[in-house]
Structure 1
Amino acid sequence: MAGAVRQQAAAREKGPAPVDPAPELPVARVLVDVPLAHLDRPFDYTVPRKLDADVVAGSRVKVRFAGQDVDGFVLERVPSSEHPGRLAPLRRAVSGEPVLSRAVAALSEEVAARYAGTRSDVLRLAVPPRHATVEKQESVPASPVEVDPAEVAADWAPYDGGRFTGRLAAGESPHAVWAALPGEDWARLLALAAAATAASGRGALLCAPDRRDVDRLDAALTSVLGAGRHVVLAADAGPSARYRAFLAVARGAVRIVVGTRAAAFAPVHDLGLVAMWDDGDDLYAEPRAPYPHTREVLLTRGQLEGCAVLVGGFARTVEGEYLIRTGWAEELSADRRVLRARSPHVAITGATDRELERDPRARSARLPRAVFDAVRAGLEQGPVLLQTPRQGYVTSLACDRCRAPARCRACTGPLRILAPTDPPTCRWCGVSEPQWACPECGGRGLRAPVLGERRTAEELGRAFPAVPVRTSGGERVLAEVGAEPALVVATPGAEPVAAGGYSCVVLLDTWLMLARPDLRTGEESLRRWLNAVALGRPAGDGGRVLAVGEPSDPVLQALVRWDPVGFAQREMAERQSAHLPPASRLATVTGTEPDLESALASLRLPAGSEVLGPVPVTLPAGPVPPRAAGEPDLQRLVLRVPRAAGPALSRALVELNGVRSARKLTSLRVQVDPVGLE
């Protein structure tokens, strides 16, 4: 026993046994999967001879790091290392499959630098988990794409005469921001753009905000290209199906990809086009660190790989307008006469003077008489869409006598009603309040200032008893409805497509969407309304739109004129005068007050920086999580710099994270250019 201990001690003194290195390129540069900012760099390892065949650029390996085995990606193999000491050997080759392409590795580095994050966090978004069984299967190569250039040009003719897709087919790489016409089959046009790119021998990558839009693109690509010439990359496809599609792209078997935000990192070979639909949708904002936005990932990729870029939607984001104003992208939009011919008639309605004389409370009526008349007329021609901004049944309650908000007696949370026969319950803690009484006036009556789509459908069902009523929202979203008369009540973003278009579209509670305290309230409201209005029929076919709101509101006026471009230009001017993005760059840093003070003391900000705050973090509606005794509340700093100083701000934040990580200080939450800033 003593001899064995002495042998082990002697072995430790001698160090590890020498490793027989690979005969060629014996050093692997590995990006280790460690989410610590001060360790966000490649490390050199010796490639043992026995692992030589399986260790290739982009493959997965296991390495010894900080006393434990961790995952890593091989960035490259080189003949020697600049490290003066002896290199540790690779522990194991997980797989010989190259899943991290050189282009995606470079993209991950740029995205991490842009958003002040680490490459390991970005690669978790870019490379799906391994599925060993799928990896053993071969990927069937897709047959060549055949496309008629005249057909592509004809469909795109209303915008630029088909010149954009003609340039794609010729192997060029134009940049464009596309304003789609109402009622446009946008999925088919994007599929045709991908087909034109494929005709030049290059790949295409198309992103959509949610699975329903991805399914539309999937069907359009199948119709235009035929089956088997593209793959779908979506998180809800399941681990094996997603990894199978990913490998088909990584191996070059398929060069056309459609998917949600994670597809922006797909390793498409010979990438010729990156495109996205409805870039203002908040689903494109990644909720995991380092919180990249899909639009910025695709724009960065367009720069790095020199490919074409297409950003489209019915609405125009301020960022899209900025790309046009700076000359980076051209504008794709139709002539005003074509727009008028394709648009439904849009009007804003409220209570009339006669209704106010008869009932003064009609001013606050949710469904004025004009809405009922329009719905009744619309049902004679086809389906009618009603957009309501809230899900559920009755989402908010107030005292019927004094209008004070109805609150829970246990936690002061807001009360709601989930179903027609249910008593009021608390939205935060779930406590039932069947005997609620107003603490202000003692009244027991309740009114509903805000109704959800299910209560709206119930009221409309009583008003039109012979008409079927369908709801779409929450966990039950309809993709399509037929051309027969029906009432369709949907929340924003969940509006189904109607065969032949809706005869009438009603936008309810517009005041509620405009009351959000956010930088993008007007832009987001107009985007959601335009997406709903675009589902209606043209005015020449009887299409009509009614928005229940204030006629003088500038956002509603932009809707009436179908003028997303003019609205984006005005928003851009206001953002520039207020020094807000995209004219400037912002970053938020969240932590406790002592941590923020120490961070500010060590943060090397670029010239022209402004420090706003700190201010207490606004907690989301819901129960407040318990805190330990004496634990300080979170606060948030806002750092603002001129746009040209944006890269310097990101570098300063990366340096701050590295210093705090090396000193084992509490980590701070850093977000660069967050989508929302309340």
Structure 2
Amino acid sequence: MPDGRVARVAVDSPLPQLDQLFDYRVPDHLVGVARPGVRVRMPLRTGGRIATGWLVELADRSEFDGRLSELEDVVGEAPLLTPELWALARAVADRAAGVASDVLRLAIPGRYVRAERAWLAGVDDPGPLPEPLAVTGFEDGRVEAALDAGERLALVVDPGLRRLPDGAWAGAWAVALAEAAAHVLSGDRSVVLAVPDHRDQEQLEAALRAIVDPRRVVRADARQGGADRYRAFLAGTGESARIVVGNRSTVYAPVPRLGLIAVWDDGDPLHAEPLAPGAHARDVALVRQEQSGAALVFAGHTRSVELARLVELGWVREVRPRRVERPRVVLVDPDRQPEPGSARIPSAAWRHARDAAAAGPVLVQVARPGQVPMMACARCREPARCATCAGPIAVPPHGGAPACALCGTPATAWRCGACGHDKLRAVTIGATRTAEEFGRAFPRTRIILSDGERQVMRVGADPALVIATRGAEPVADGGYRAVLLLDGERMLLRESLRVAEDCLRWWSGAAALAAPGAPVFLVGVGGALGTAMATWRQPEWAASELEARRALRFPPAVRVASVTAAPERVAAAVEAARAAAAGVDVLGPVDVDGGLQRAIVRFDYGAGAAVAQALRAETVRTATERRRPVAGRGPGRPPILRVRMDDPAVP
């Protein structure tokens, strides 16, 4: 066969048995067009159908002795799948016991012909490279030297805001990451910046505009239309060094000469990919850093327990600022008598809020949107649950007696399942209800409500009370004159291993928006968590939390995998995992919906590759198992075996 006439193709299919390279012959009319990285169409002998896939590489010969099928067609002229991206997708899929084509669907957006043709016909003019910049706030040259050497850093950033040259305000963290990106870009190397949501992205882009030519910055996020997203992807694949800013899937951006990967707030659950194979942006960044040799920066006001483990191992090096201007956090007892007419704020916090609201904006963070107050036991603070359906008990939106929010059963005969007490108390009042109460307590002050439905990105320096749900806090010009963090007690009642970690991150993010010296009142939280917040020692708290989880063999001290299937298949998968590596232990199985069971497999990080390979082999075996039809009936439903490595829902 002539040189380069064998195309090795990755089939675009979620079926695990097709997760391998298949050889096809390149017909004469596609020679020169069928290049590595392009989309192709080819026949699949199963069912005689035409499938799509990616041409990974060309070869001179095939190991298959028979006659090769021919490629059907080439879809598009742009080579979208670079060798680096394929290697990354393969490594991520193997680590997650998944399928490489699932990773590629996350990494490469859908094709838009008009956008592709315009990109192929256009002239790339990215503008000049920036001058080398120093990353301010740290020891001279320390961060820059680490970036040049391709190190892995856990960057502790200053809280607070910075005024940009155009007059806008952005977080100090955004300025630091923008300066690091500009430093790397000045050496003609590309940068990938991953942030959780559009609020963080807006601040980071504002900081980049002040120091980098906008033509060098590529925006890529889920809010873009399909054509814009595809256009941004193509712009990042050119020969010119770029800065790509976006959400979790940005870590796959196939930019040339990668010099830096930065992930802001890696503990945010928005960095966890819900689609198969469910690889977290942090893990993808770690894999890509090892493959590329680029620098890797994790930054945040708090530290995830996963990152604390990497710092403890020495795999990631901590870098602290020269001087931390920590917020002035005050812990407030929620049971102290509130000031008359002060809504539900303890008196000391109310007086400060009243005085601060006369001078500028004041932030009030609440747990949830809407009107409905959630109820808990007045004695032990356990969340109140319905005796009929176990739904949450709340006050109906139209008012009245507490009742189940799901089935509507009145809570007239309610008793706490933990302590037997029969009295209820409101522990969470929605943002809308809070705004109404503050409107009565501050009758001459402007009230601004920011939540998932009413998104406010920025507020001015004029006096105002900003009522915001967690994560929806706007940036205030010059910072907030006071910050009130309500509902802390209610936030901690959520049933999750990560509830304390999440709460610390929510509170720290809001406190970082305060003006220098402005008080931050944290209501209803004490103990080690309150102390960590008050002293601004979140990394130390994360280290202690890691130690507690290690004693219990909870993630991230160990890795876990959830296995869901029929009982006999769960047992087979568990035995395969145990046979693959030593030290594997299993929790369960327990019954779940549909007659299935779920088991949790725990194992050390060193056994991860072997366990993932064994579980993936079980998924292939299950998918290819021949099902014999019963007389008069079809073969029935295919068997189910779902494997999720590092499942965020566990425990």
State the secondary structure of the residue aligned to 1:569: helix
| 2:285 aligned to which of 291, 295, 298 | 298
State the secondary structure of the residue aligned to 2:24: strand
Q: Distance in 1 between matches of 2:471 and 2:159?
A: 16
Whether the 8 Å contact between 2:126 and 2:240 is mirrored in structure 1 is no
Q: Which moved more, 1:395-404 or 1:83-92?
A: 395-404
Count of aligned residue pairs for this structure pair: 617
Matched, 1:471 2:449: yes
Q: Distance in 2 between matches of 1:516 and 1:446?
A: 18
In structure 2, the CA distance between the partners of 1:452 and 1:120, relative to structure 1 (3 Å rule), is: same
**Residue 477 of structure 2: aligned partner:** 499
| 1:581 aligned to which of 555, 558, 563 | 555
Matched, 1:49 2:28: yes
In structure 2, the CA distance between the partners of 1:351 and 1:675, relative to structure 1 (3 Å rule), is: closer
Residue 401 of structure 1: how far off its partner (Å): 14
Q: Distance in 2 between matches of 1:333 and 1:401?
A: 43
Q: Distance in 1 between matches of 2:72 and 2:187?
A: 43
Residue 379 of structure 1: how far off its partner (Å): 1.1
* Alignment deviations for residues 608-630 of structure 1 (CA, whole Å, 9 cap, x no partner): 1001111345xxxxxxxxx8xxx
Equivalent residues in 2 for 1:121-140, closer than 5 Å: 121-138=102-119, 139-140=122-123
Q: Distance in 2 between matches of 1:401 and 1:334?
A: 44
* Alignment deviations for residues 254-283 of structure 1 (CA, whole Å, 9 cap, x no partner): 522110011111110111100011111000
Matched, 1:527 2:505: yes
| 1:599 aligned to which of 563, 573, 579 | 573
- Give the CA RMSD over aligned residues: 2.9
Matched, 1:370 2:358: no
Matched, 1:381 2:359: yes
**Residue 154 of structure 2: aligned partner:** 177
- Structure 2: runs of 5 or more not aligned: 161-170, 416-422, 627-637
Q: Distance in 2 between matches of 1:157 and 1:81?
A: 55
- Structure 1: runs of 5 or more not aligned: 1-20, 618-626
Q: Distance in 2 between matches of 1:146 and 1:567?
A: 41
Q: Distance in 2 between matches of 1:167 and 1:586?
A: 32
**Residue 618 of structure 2: aligned partner:** 656
Report which of the two structures shows the higher radius of gyration computed on alpha carbons.
Answer: 1
**Residue 420 of structure 2: aligned partner:** none
In structure 2, the CA distance between the partners of 1:440 and 1:427, relative to structure 1 (3 Å rule), is: closer
* Alignment deviations for residues 382-402 of structure 1 (CA, whole Å, 9 cap, x no partner): 111111112221153589999
In structure 2, the CA distance between the partners of 1:579 and 1:405, relative to structure 1 (3 Å rule), is: closer
Residue 669 of structure 1: how far off its partner (Å): 2.2
Residue 140 of structure 1: how far off its partner (Å): 4.1
* Alignment deviations for residues 561-600 of structure 1 (CA, whole Å, 9 cap, x no partner): 0001211221222222222333321111123434323433
**Residue 17 of structure 1: aligned partner:** none
Whether the 8 Å contact between 1:40 and 1:118 is mirrored in structure 2 is yes
State the secondary structure of the residue aligned to 1:385: strand
State the secondary structure of the residue aligned to 2:600: strand
Q: Distance in 1 between matches of 2:513 and 2:380?
A: 40
**Residue 100 of structure 2: aligned partner:** 119
State the secondary structure of the residue aligned to 1:109: helix
State the secondary structure of the residue aligned to 1:644: helix
**Residue 8 of structure 1: aligned partner:** none
Whichever residue aligns with residue 473 of structure 1, its letter is D
Q: Distance in 2 between matches of 1:391 and 1:575?
A: 32
In structure 2, the CA distance between the partners of 1:224 and 1:422, relative to structure 1 (3 Å rule), is: farther
Residue 103 of structure 1: how far off its partner (Å): 0.3
In structure 2, the CA distance between the partners of 1:391 and 1:616, relative to structure 1 (3 Å rule), is: farther
In structure 2, the CA distance between the partners of 1:296 and 1:91, relative to structure 1 (3 Å rule), is: same
Matched, 1:204 2:191: yes
**Residue 88 of structure 2: aligned partner:** 107
| 1:143 aligned to which of 111, 126, 130 | 126
Whichever residue aligns with residue 580 of structure 1, its letter is F
**Residue 160 of structure 1: aligned partner:** 139
In structure 2, the CA distance between the partners of 1:45 and 1:369, relative to structure 1 (3 Å rule), is: same
Residue 497 of structure 1: how far off its partner (Å): 0.8
Q: Distance in 2 between matches of 1:561 and 1:447?
A: 31
State the secondary structure of the residue aligned to 1:595: helix
TM-score by length of 1: 0.85
| 1:345 aligned to which of 328, 335, 338 | 328
| 2:15 aligned to which of 36, 42, 46 | 36
In structure 2, the CA distance between the partners of 1:395 and 1:32, relative to structure 1 (3 Å rule), is: farther
State the secondary structure of the residue aligned to 2:303: coil
State the secondary structure of the residue aligned to 2:118: coil
State the secondary structure of the residue aligned to 1:177: strand
Q: Distance in 1 between matches of 2:498 and 2:156?
A: 19
**Residue 285 of structure 1: aligned partner:** 272
Whether the 8 Å contact between 2:375 and 2:393 is mirrored in structure 1 is yes
Residue 505 of structure 1: how far off its partner (Å): 0.8
Q: Distance in 2 between matches of 1:100 and 1:412?
A: 49
**Residue 642 of structure 2: aligned partner:** 669
Whether the 8 Å contact between 2:131 and 2:186 is mirrored in structure 1 is no
Matched, 1:646 2:592: no
Whether the 8 Å contact between 1:230 and 1:254 is mirrored in structure 2 is no
Matched, 1:482 2:482: no
Residue 232 of structure 1: how far off its partner (Å): 0.6
Q: Distance in 1 between matches of 2:206 and 2:248?
A: 19
Q: Distance in 1 between matches of 2:533 and 2:513?
A: 14
Q: Distance in 2 between matches of 1:173 and 1:254?
A: 17
| 2:234 aligned to which of 230, 234, 247 | 247
Whether the 8 Å contact between 1:25 and 1:78 is mirrored in structure 2 is yes
**Residue 624 of structure 1: aligned partner:** none
Whichever residue aligns with residue 501 of structure 1, its letter is G
